[in-house]
Amino acid sequence: MQVRVANPQFNRPGVWAFEQPQYFDYEGEEVKLKWTSPNQLALSTGNPEWPVRIIARNHIVAIDNVAFTQQVSAANTKVVKGSKGETYVVTGNTCTCPGFTFRKTCKHL
């Protein structure tokens, strides 16, 4: 999945000598770790020296180009895999999968 994270250093004129990007885009798979809190997302990096990136969920602005707001990006958002390996984002009682889009209900909720 692709995760877009807001850069907390963005738009702080005078603090940084060069322009800071507004977002960072990370690519990886969600990793289940025992020590992360529900407010953190562990994403694989593909780098063996540093295999997992920990992301604060309230900094996430989009997953797989599905944008969501700060309020719903907290612990009530989860990423699920469809039967064909697709990635869907479940937020509260909505889901980005085609089943929910057409029927307003699906097995991910």
Closer CB to Zn ion, 11 or 105, in the complex: 105
What is the Cβ-side half-sphere exposure of residue 24, based on CA atoms within 13 angstroms? 13
The DSSP call for residue 30 is: B
What is the Cβ-side half-sphere exposure of residue 100, based on CA atoms within 13 angstroms? 15
Closer CB to Zn ion, 40 or 94, in the complex: 94
Asked if 61 interacts with Zn ion (CB under 5 A), we say no
Beta pairing, strands 52-56 & 40-44: antiparallel
In the block, tokens 């940084």 appear at: 16
Interface size with Zn ion, residues (CB under 5 A): 5
Shortest CA distance to 1 belongs to which of 43, 48, 55, 40? 43
Asked if 95 interacts with Zn ion (CB under 5 A), we say yes
Closer CB to Zn ion, 56 or 62, in the complex: 62
Q: Judged by CB under 5 A, which stretch of 8-16, 34-42, 51-59, 93-101 contacts Zn ion?
A: 93-101
Asked if 63 interacts with Zn ion (CB under 5 A), we say no
Contact footprint for Zn ion (CB under 5 A): 95, 97, 100, 106, 108
